[in-house]
């Protein structure tokens, strides 16, 4: 096993960053939403921007699988199925424009949208956070298109999609389950695109993903334990805070 690990010829700091990012992804998918956005720049710094998108995708799918199993009885199908059709064109646009779009400018746009929606949510929390937002079709379309594009370009769709689901006043288990199912479906769709079109997933990268599974399991288990100890309203406040921090990270 040690010889197999050594065959990747990664520096110790790269292993440390990869293990840490994998644990953050596991925690993110089982309730501590927003932490995976911290993992994205970590892996990009260690392995390169575009290459990191192929490396992180199987990790996200593995973590999503754990989340949908852990919260399999809590999904809000209506919320998820409303958004997915609008996400697919976003994936297609990202696939087409590829390297011709400035990541920095697009991330600024995502952060701006997230902050606008966060302001609405903060006002709702101040008023009690009891009323449910019924998204208009154009809001759903905007979130879906931007979310699909962001998911394909850099795996950074979490904040805007999370805010969208959170705005529907789902309880914490419904939020986690719906978000996990949504991203599991989208990431499965992205998998052949990464393999056959962008060619950023290889046998070697999948072997590296396999080594990281224990870190994902540990992170996912920690996420489940922590979420069980948090009530719904403090959980919403936590999500708003971590999403705001994640949106700021998009600017750098």
pLDDT 10s digits, 67-119 = 898 888 899 999 999 999 999 999 998 888 766 766 677 667 667 767 776 77
Packing angle between helix 49-70 and helix 137-154, nearest 10 degrees?
120
| Joined tokens for residue 99 | 């390297």
Sequence-ordered list of residues with C-beta below 8 angstroms from that of 207, at least 6 positions apart, any chain: 4, 8
Q: Which structural domain range is residue 174 located in?
A: 2-249
* The two structure tokens encoding residue 248: 């700021």
How many independent structural domains does the chain possess? 1
Averaged pLDDT of the chain = 83
Q: What is the DSSP string of 84-118?
A: HHHHHHHHHHHHHHGGGS-HHHHHHHHHHHHHHHH
- Evaluate if residue 218 carries a pLDDT over 90: yes
| Torsion sign, CA atoms 46, 50, 51, 52 | positive
The pTM (predicted TM-score) of the whole model is: 0.82
Ramachandran sector of residue 169 (left: φ over 0; alpha: ψ -120 to 50; beta: rest): left
Angle at 221 between CA 160 and CA 241, to 5 degrees: 35
Instruction: Report d(CA 29, CA 31) in Å as an integer.
Output: 6
CA distance 140 to 145: 9
């Amino acid at each position: 096993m040690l010889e197999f690990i050594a065959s990747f010829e990664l520096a110790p700091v790269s292993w440390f960053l990869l293990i840490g990012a994998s644990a953050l992804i596991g925690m993110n998918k089982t309730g501590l939403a927003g932490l995976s956005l911290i993992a994205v720049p970590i892996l990009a710094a260690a392995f390169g921007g575009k290459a990191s998108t192929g490396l992180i995708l199987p990790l996200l799918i593995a973590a999503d699988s754990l989340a949908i199993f852990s919260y399999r009885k809590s999904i809000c199908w209506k919320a998820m199925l409303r958004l997915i059709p609008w996400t697919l064109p976003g994936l297609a646009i990202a696939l087409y424009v590829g390297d011709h779009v400035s990541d920095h400018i697009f991330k600024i746009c995502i952060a701006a949208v997230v902050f606008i929606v966060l302001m609405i949510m903060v006002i709702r929390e101040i008023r009690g956070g009891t009323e449910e937002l019924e998204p208009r079709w154009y809001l759903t379309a905007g979130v879906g298109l931007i979310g699909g594009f962001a998911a394909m370009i850099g795996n950074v769709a979490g904040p805007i999609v999370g805010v969208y689901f959170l705005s529907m006043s789902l309880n914490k288990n419904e939020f986690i389950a719906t978000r996990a199912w949504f991203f599991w479906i989208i990431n499965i769709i992205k998998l052949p695109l990464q393999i056959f079109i962008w060619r950023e997933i290889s046998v070697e990268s999948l072997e590296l993903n396999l080594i990281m599974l224990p870190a994902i399991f540990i992170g996912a288990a920690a996420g489940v334990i922590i979420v069980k100890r948090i009530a719904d309203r403090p959980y919403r406040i936590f999500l708003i805070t971590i999403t705001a921090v994640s949106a700021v990270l998009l600017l750098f």
